[in-house]
Amino acid sequence: MKHIWGAVKAIGKKKAIGWIVGLAAANIIPILIGLVLMSIMFAIIGALGGSVDEQQSNQNHPFAGYVCSATGEINQEKWTSVFQNKERSGALKGHGEDIIQLSEEKDLDPVLFASIALHETAWGKSNAIQQKNNPGGLMNPDGSGLFSFPTLKDGLESMSQTLYNRIKVDGLVTIEQLGSVYAPVGAENDPNNLNEHWVPTTKEVAQKLGGLTMNCEPSNQPDMEVIGDKSWISSHTKRITSGFGNRSCGGCSSFHAGIDVASGGIRGAPITAFADGEIVISEANGTTFKSSSNNMGSGYGWYVEVKHDDGLRTRYAHMKEKGKPVGTNVEAGEVIGKVGSTGASTGAHLHFEIIVNGEKVDPMPYVKPFLTGEQ
């Protein structure tokens, strides 16, 4: 500090102020740039924990496939006895409110969230949480090891997004189902079969916290946009990735007889009926494995065809699994299946066709009101 004031006296007050401001800027600007870059990095990494098209954030997903409803309340006495006691929660001490807040934001069971975090970190005492602020076992994108977070709250936020993807999107709603992802029994990297303890231990932790407080189950009816007697066909997105007509793409048909609807995180999202009608086809055509550009399948995969009035039919292809059965009467906007990547598909998307009197026609004039607002 003395040498700074010496410089002030030597070069004059005005020049000294400029020098000090410049010195501050030289130090602050790199810090600000670093913070911005770090924010961008975490925006990308925070959604990891699944396949590529599931790594996008689903926070604003209008329908995530599963809904959770409260079945009880947090036992505050047991909760506090853990998260206000360093002996019982280690590095997680004082973060009970963070877990509750993040759970509320993503409609998760806070007890389930906390139980997994406590078990994964050996009650807050593992090296991963103490040295890397990583409570959920999130790996570096290049697979080089555990990711290191600047703060534990950052680590908890990332873990909450991963749990959201696994529970609300993938439908892994029980501890047993989550265990198949977090700690699969028989995994090659678990020669001592320690993973077989993951489910019972996580359940035991949940009981020590007072028991789970929510029940999650598939939602049968998303909030769909309906115009007149027609409904949009995907609650996830309105993004058209391929139109009707001739096209060029590796491994797929040169003539595209429908439109493709897709965006990040669409796998498993609901497919809804375009209009009232009856399901007349619900079967597999071609292959039913998870197709990709590196392992292309054939045909429609799992698909559903709905018969409407006036000679109109709609077809929904590349479903994740078998849709609603033949003979089911459906209303516009009613869920008939889930988006997948079966058949001749390079990635998860909905292939939608409109058939008029036996002829496939361009669906765009029919769906235009949902895309432009013009009727």
Q: State the residue for tokens 């995994």.
A: 187
Query: d(Cα 273, Cα 263) in Å, to the nearest integer?
Result: 19
Inter-residue contact 41 to 182 (CB < 8 Å): no
Residue 254: per-residue pLDDT: 75
**Structural element, H or E, at residue 336:** strand 335-338
Residue 15: per-residue pLDDT: 43
pLDDT along the chain (375 residues), means of 10: 42 42 48 46 36 34 54 92 96 97 91 96 96 92 88 96 84 86 82 87 94 75 81 91 78 78 89 95 93 88 94 96 90 91 92 96 94 69
Crossing angle for the helix pair 96-106 and 76-83, nearest 10 degrees? 120
Contacts of 362 (CB under 8 A, 6+ apart): 243, 244, 245, 354
Q: What is the pTM of this model?
A: 0.48
Domains of the chain: 2-39 (no CATH), 55-218 (1.10.530.10), 226-372 (2.70.70.10)
Residue 253: per-residue pLDDT: 55
DSSP notation for 269-333? -EEE-SBSEEEEEEEEES--S--BTTB---S-EEEEEEE-STTEEEEEEEESS--SPTT-EE-TT
Neighbouring-strand partners of residue 282: 304
Neighbouring-strand partners of residue 330: 277
**Residue among 76, 96, 77 nearest 86 (CA):** 96
Residue 67: per-residue pLDDT: 63
Residue 357: per-residue pLDDT: 93
Query: d(Cα 212, Cα 205) in Å, to the nearest integer?
Result: 10
Residue 180: per-residue pLDDT: 86
